[in-house]
Each structure stands twice: as C-alpha cells, then as structure tokens.
Chains A and B, each alone.
Chain A
Amino acid sequence: MTWSDMAPLLWEATGQTAQMVLWSTLFTVLFGLPLGVALVGADRDGLFPAPIARRILGLVVNVGRSLPFIVLMIAVIPVTRLITGTTIGTGAAAVPLTIGAVPFFARLVETALREVGRDVVQAAQAMGASRVTIVAKVLLPEALPGLIAALTVTVVTLISYSAMAGVIGGGGLGDLAVRYGYQRFETALMIVTVVVLVVLVQAVQSIGDAVSRRLTRR
C-alpha cells in the first residue's frame, strides 16, 4: 500500500475521529460540568446541601466509571437509537462516548472545584453573594486552570474511546487500524495510524497545558 493509497483513508478516518471527539467533548462539558458542580455543592457543608441526592449522584457516577467503555458502548445501544435514530456512524458513536466521558469528567471537575479554598467561598458569602454568583464568579473562575486540565485529560480519553467506536460502526482511526492493520496485515498503515494518534494526543495535551498554565495566577 502506497502513501497515495493511504492518504485518503487516513484523511477520512482522522476527520471521523475529530468529529466524534468534538461532538462528544461538547456534550460532555455540557452535562459533566453541572454534574461536577452538583457533586461539590450538594455536600453536607456545600453551597446547596443535599446529602441524599449527593449520595445518589455519586453512585450513578461510580457505576458509569466502573463499566469498561466497550461494554458500556454496547449496553447503551437502545439509548443511542432513541437519541439519534440510528446506531451506526460517527453521530451515533458520540452518544456512548458522551455517556462514557460525563462521569469521568464530572469527577475531575469535582476535584478541581474542591481545590478552591473554603475561605474564598465564605468571603463571597459574607459579601452577600448568591449561590449562583458564587458558582459563576468564584468557583468556576478560580478553578479554571484545573478545569482546563480536566478537559484536556477528558479529550485525550475520548480520542482513545473513539478508537473503540469503530466496533459499532463509528469509523475513525481505531476502525482503520483494526480493518487494515489487523485484518489485512497492512503494517505500514498501522504504523502511520499510530503516529497520527500519538501526534493528535500530544497536540491536545500541549495546548491544554499551555492554556492551563497561562490561566494560573498563583
């Protein structure tokens, strides 16, 4: 297989991976960030204490975290069909990817938010800030470097998960590696795919680190 044979395949697969990762990242942040805030806020001594709800949320998150992604992906097929109307393709793959990444991201958000000092939150309370203000103007901005780092790790994880999405017809670089590298013994393509994945992950991590560092004011 020559480079000119490989290039269009690689190009298409990279595009599919990018699509899966972008969409699932978007939805992961959309659901995971509030979930992370809830995990912190619902604490007994949190902003909006709700110990029972907190315990249930924690349990749900742990269940989500304990399933291997490949199992979760197949288990949620009915949900995927319900949401996207199909179970095949990159759009359909974004559903299990999101479901898999939300609990993971929420835990990282929780950790980042807990790094914000209690005294800063109390100072805001002493100024008469509402809970919404405290979340929007104290917790999230103060934790921003940590949140960016959490996002970076999540995107890298999503790239790795997305490789498995090939199994349910999601396409992407993982699928390419399995079909050509494994099933057709195209070692050259296998190596190029690995290189592309490494470069992709490296790029995401570097950008994330740089942004996080720029935002750190400690």
Chain B
Amino acid sequence: MIKVSGLRKAYGSVVALDGVDLHVRKGEIFGVLGQSGAGKSTLLRCVNLLERPTGGTVTVGGRDLTALGEGELRRARQGIGMIHQHFALLSSRTVAGNVAFPLEIMGMPRDRRAKRVEELLELVGLAGKAGAHPAQLSGGQKQRVGIARALAGEPSVLLSDEATSALDPGTTQSILALLKRLNRELGLTILLITHEMDVIKAICDSAAIMSEGRIQEAGPIPELLATPGSRLTDELFPLPPAEPGSVTITFTGSYSGRADEPVVSQVVRKFDVDVNILGGALEDVAGVSAGRLRVRLTGEESDAALGYLRDRGLLVEVASR
C-alpha cells in the first residue's frame, strides 16, 4: 500500500534520511519506532510529500507521488489522512467545522457535507460535540476530532505523527483502541511513528526501528521476535547484559513453543540438567503472547537440552564464552 524506496532527505549538510526502504502492506498497522531526531518524523512527512525528498520514491496505492504535479499531488493527498501530535485543529471553527474542512477542500456540497460530518463524529464517539470549540475539549476528544477529520475523505491510508504522545496513558489506550477498530472495520492501512514502545506493543502488526536516518530492522513483529539479535526484541524485553555462556530463549505465540507451555520444567525432567533463571519478561505483542527468558544450563546434557528447545521452535541464543 505504501512503498518507500531509497528515500533520502538532506537539509544542507545534515542528512535526515539516509536511504530508507519501507513496505507497508494493505490493511496493516505499521509502526516506526525511534528516538527523537532519528528521522521518523521526516520519513512520515515525506510519505505525503509535506517534505520533498532529496532522492528516492514514495508510492501510495500504486501511485508514485514524487512524480506528480502540484494539482495532482493535492488530489492524491485528499486520499491520505493524517493525524498530528498536537492535533492541529482550527481553533476558530467548531468540531463540526473542523471535520467539514477537508470536505470543503474536496468541494463537497453543503448538505452532503453536514450528513458526512454527522457520520464521522458518530464513528469516533463525539456525536454530542458537534457545536463545541476545540478549546472546550480534552486532549483525547481533540484527537478524536483529528481522526474524524483525517477520515473525512475516506482515505485508504492514515498517517499518524506521534498521535498519542501528548496524551495521558489512559487516553492513549482509548485512542489506540479506536485506531485498531478503524483498522479492522474500515480496512484502513495505518503508518504511525512513535517513540513509545507501548504503542507498537498495543496495536502494530509490523514495526521498524529507526535511528540516524536509517531503518535498522523492519518486518512483521512475530518475525522480528524470531530473528536472532533483534533490537526490537531487546527493547521489548529488556534483560541485563548476557553473561558468557548464558542462554536466552525467546518464544512467541505463533511458534509451537507457546508462551504458556512449561518448557523449562520439561527440559529439566527430560534431560540431566539444572536450570538457573537469570531474568525474564512476558508481554502481549501484536495480539500474541511473547516472552524472553535468560537462563544458565549446567549438566551433562546441556547441549541436548538446547537442541530440544530449538526443535520446539524457540529462538535459542547462547552468549559466547
């Protein structure tokens, strides 16, 4: 749905994006995680060409946006929704007026506009707030207005620029739940950027980690979890530095070794080994339960035990001695 290839953006001698490739599939929620200054905001703003890239191409829904003229680009943007960290609502307009704004830009006649605005406010749970001004709303309500506005033109793609970063944790969860619902009900493809791991954990199907203007790793989250040395896994399950000889076991629900399967006790029963647990973490990620365990195995049959764990489909990494 969104394909970014070889994207470069430089401001003078400062390189913000250094050859970024990204593929967001239709109907998925794709999260780009990174510290501030990693280039993720520039990346998002290059997707709808708010920033003109220095090099590379951006394709949304099969159209190469970088090749479009100004008028065509404006029409293409009407099919790409965007929500913002600080909501970016017009303070001079009511809630209904804000949601109607993109419809005015599209040239929808007034009577149809009013009906559509009503539907949209219903969709985001703000039916009673049509006449309120943004200043009278809470942060969560403002972002709901932002979402309704972004969906006005029935976009196939929604770009989210740190949409929950200015919200408290409870409100963040409700906005994320709304995004997930819209993703499921409308088949909306969502590309979001965030510096919060919790956002990735809560709603993303795929993720990319970005730093210094490059994508460090990207892909469906279960695949990333199954990749040795994954930075996403390290950030999801922070464990103390691995001592030489210690064993790190990563398990996800999509593998035969399910998180709730008692693998450790099985190993102890089947093999002549002792297991010493050094650390561990368990999380629900992308709708599946996943976890990581750091152990030390001692005993004659250690290697056989590790082989058994690998056969169960677990990712087993042994820190080199």
Contacts and interface: CB of A to CB of B under 8 A. Distances in A.
Q: Check if A and B associate.
A: yes
| Listed residue (B74, B90, B92) with the most chain A CB atoms within 10 angstroms of its CB | B92
Contacts of A127: 77-78, 82, 101-102, 105, 149, 153
A133 B48 contact: no
Contact of A128 (B78, B91, B93, B134): B78
Contact of B75 (A117, A128, A137): A128
A184 interface: no
A129 B159 CA distance: 17
A43 to B, nearest CB: 16
B105 A217 contact: no
A142 B90 contact: yes
Contacts of B84: 119, 122-123
B75 A120 contact: no
| Listed residue (A122, A124, A141) with the most chain B CB atoms within 10 angstroms of its CB | A122
Contacts of A119: 84, 86, 88
A178 interface: no
Contact of B91 (A124, A126, A130, A217): A217
A123 B82 contact: yes
A46 to B, nearest CB: 14
A215 interface: yes
B74 A129 contact: yes
A144 interface: yes
Interface residues of B, number: 29
| Listed residue (A127, A133, A142, A217) with the most chain B CB atoms within 10 angstroms of its CB | A127
B135 A137 contact: no
Contacts of A141: 90, 92-93
Interface in A128-175: 128-130, 133, 137-138, 141-142, 144
A215 B133 CA distance: 12
A126 B91 CA distance: 18
Residues of A in contact with B, size category: 20 to 34
Interface string A180-218: 000000000000000000000000000000000001011
Given A119-B86, A133-B105, A217-B134, A128 B77 contact: yes
Interface string A99-128: 000000000000000000101101111111
Nearest to A216: B91
B50 interface: yes
B49 to A, nearest CB: 9
Summarize B's interface: helix, strand, loop or mixed: mixed
A120 B85 CA distance: 11
Contacts of A133: 105
Contacts of B91: 142, 217-218
B104 A117 contact: no
Contact of A126 (B75, B80, B104): B80
A126 B50 contact: yes
Interface in B83-123: 84, 86, 88-93, 101-102, 104-106
A142 B77 CA distance: 23
Contacts of B104: 137
Nearest to B91: A217
B134 A120 contact: no
A124 to B, nearest CB: 8
A89 to B, nearest CB: 41
A48 to B, nearest CB: 11
Contacts of B153: 127
Nearest to A143: B92
Contacts of B134: 217
Nearest to B80: A126
Interface in A57-79: none
A125 B135 contact: no
A138 B76 CA distance: 20
Interface string B120-156: 0000000000000111000000000000010001000
B192 to A, nearest CB: 15
Contact of B105 (A129, A144, A215, A218): A129
A129 B102 CA distance: 8
B78 A120 contact: no
| Listed residue (A128, A130, A137) with the most chain B CB atoms within 10 angstroms of its CB | A128
Given A123-B88, A128-B106, 4 more contacts: A120-B90, A126-B50, A126-B82, A137-B104
Interface of B: 48, 50, 73-78, 80, 82, 84, 86, 88-93, 101-102, 104-106, 133-135, 149, 153, 159
16 contacts: A117-B86, A119-B86, A124-B105, A125-B50, A125-B77, A127-B102, A128-B77, A128-B106, A138-B90, A141-B90, A141-B92, A142-B92, A144-B92, A215-B92, A217-B133, A217-B135
Closest 3 CB pairs of A and B: A123-B88, A128-B77, A128-B78
